[in-house]
Amino acid sequence: MFNALHQWTRTLTSLTVLTVLGVGGWYGYKSYMAPQLELEEKSKLLKQQQARLAKLEAVEQQLREDNAELRENMERLALAVRLLKVDRRIAQIVVLDQWEAGPEEQVHTKFSFTEFDNRGEPLYEPRLFTIEGDVVYVDYWVAKFQDHFVEQQDPLRHASIALFRRVFGENQRPRDGFALDEEDVQPAAYASEEQASVFEREIWENFWEYATDKNKAESAGLRAAHGEAVAMRLDKGETYRLVLRSSGGLTFAPASLGRSSGEITL
């Protein structure tokens, strides 16, 4: 029994020592490794945050680029819209007198016709005409360019161009009307625009070729070239304006209706 008790005591002591050593070793390992593990965890979190930051910076850069492109497109569109509203030819008719004459007491109308540049300065002295009737027709040729030239801000083809041929009354034949611009010659309204003069002169000198030859028209960037006419009933003492916008044909309206957006004040 003594030997057995002694053996059991030794075993218990060994177990106690081993337990103490094990617990001490575990605490020692924990105390040593904890900072390392914490450092590794922090490093891992830092890398994750850096990756997220890099993605956010990439998104921000893309947004900046998209915003710059959008702003550029908006500016281009705004310029295109402004070009579409540019008044390239502006004329004014002032009715000076109106009376009835002849056996049938036919109405006659006397008026002045004046054209202005984009600064509102007259291009020439007012021209006086007397027509038979109170409705006047303005006959003109117009060359309209393809839409994408406006969007591209093409300096030569961003606006329609027109030649005023003649005016005549409702009771007159067109061929008996009064000439305005000289045919086959660049109109005075465009003479000051040196950059476009050669190009436009070529169109006016060969207008009907451009109007009837599809290949020739396409080579010049034209979508249409043809004659048109606008008409207006004239009242004594009233003033009327004719305006050619870059995007289309001629408008003819009483000045008393007010001026449209983009039109200069005469």
Per-residue confidence in pLDDT tens, the chain, 266 aa: 666 656 666 766 666 656 655 656 656 656 666 666 677 777 788 888 888 888 888 888 888 888 888 877 676 565 455 545 455 678 999 999 999 987 788 999 999 999 887 778 888 899 999 999 999 999 988 888 887 776 666 666 767 778 888 999 999 999 999 998 877 666 766 665 544 457 777 887 888 898 899 898 888 888 888 888 999 999 999 999 998 876 667 889 998 876 543 343 44
To the nearest 10°, the Cα dihedral for 233, 239, 244, 248? -40
Half-sphere exposure of residue 174: CA atoms within 13 angstroms, side-chain side = 11
What integer pLDDT is reported at residue 195 of this predicted model?
A: 47
Q: Rounded distance, CA 99 to CA 67, Å?
A: 64
What integer pLDDT is reported at residue 223 of this predicted model?
A: 85
To the nearest 10°, the Cα dihedral for 179, 197, 116, 109? 10
Asked whether the beta carbons of 129 and 193 are under 8 A apart, the reply is no
What integer pLDDT is reported at residue 104 of this predicted model?
A: 81
Helix (H, G, I), strand (E, B) or coil at 133: coil
Q: Rounded distance, CA 144 to CA 231, Å?
A: 20
Q: Residues 6 or more apart from 230 whose CB is under 8 A from it? A: 137, 138, 140, 242, 249, 250, 251, 252
